[in-house]
Chains A and B, each alone.
Chain A
Amino acid sequence: MRKKQIFSIRQLQVFFRLLILTAIGAGWGCSTVNVAEQRLVSKSNMVFSDSPVFSDTSNYHSLLEPGTAGSGGGQASGCTSCK
């Protein structure tokens, strides 16, 4: 029986490259917008919010859509007999 690797080298390389892209994205824009020009990006409907009052996403999407399930657990994906 083939011994299964937890993560392959290829997977790790993809992972770290994606991480770098994220880091570049994080740096992007940090030095370009003057403070006095941040009025529009500071509006309440422009910021990303965890509050249900200001959030666009619905928890039901993750229950009905297998690809939207965030945690990956069996219950989260909604298919109890699925691996």
Chain B
Amino acid sequence: MEEILQLLNEDARLSAKQIAERLGRPEAEIREAVARLEKDRVIRRYRTVIDWEKAGVEHVFGFIEVRCSPQRGVGFDAVAERIMEFSEVHSLYLMSGAYDFLVVVQGKTMRDIAYFVAEKLAPLDHVVSTATHFVLRRYKVDGDVMVDRTEAKRLPVTP
């Protein structure tokens, strides 16, 4: 099962037939396994890795450190739920260390993000402070290197 997930993680467009061939297993078995993984929400959805910059679509990312006071009974979860509902929030992590949440915010401009932090995030109940960092360049995202590099050449025929 892990091998199926690894393959789909690399290339979500692989067909059951292709996966079956690569893993040396019957196609029906793969089809069934994938259906079960989808049903159990292990596979949550299939998406595409896009270099938006190359596509000419501007995206700005801000990494915002949020410190907040946990609430009795629910800890950080209640605040997390309020934060993650905003469509601007790309990712949200509870962290160990100097702050509590790392909020990754996506916007069209820096001003969008600054506005979001000032108007939506900072004023939330229990949020004590925020610190905003803007992304200047994305080199590697979720395991994908986002800068074009020349491929190393091999001799066309070797023993």
- A, B assembled together: no
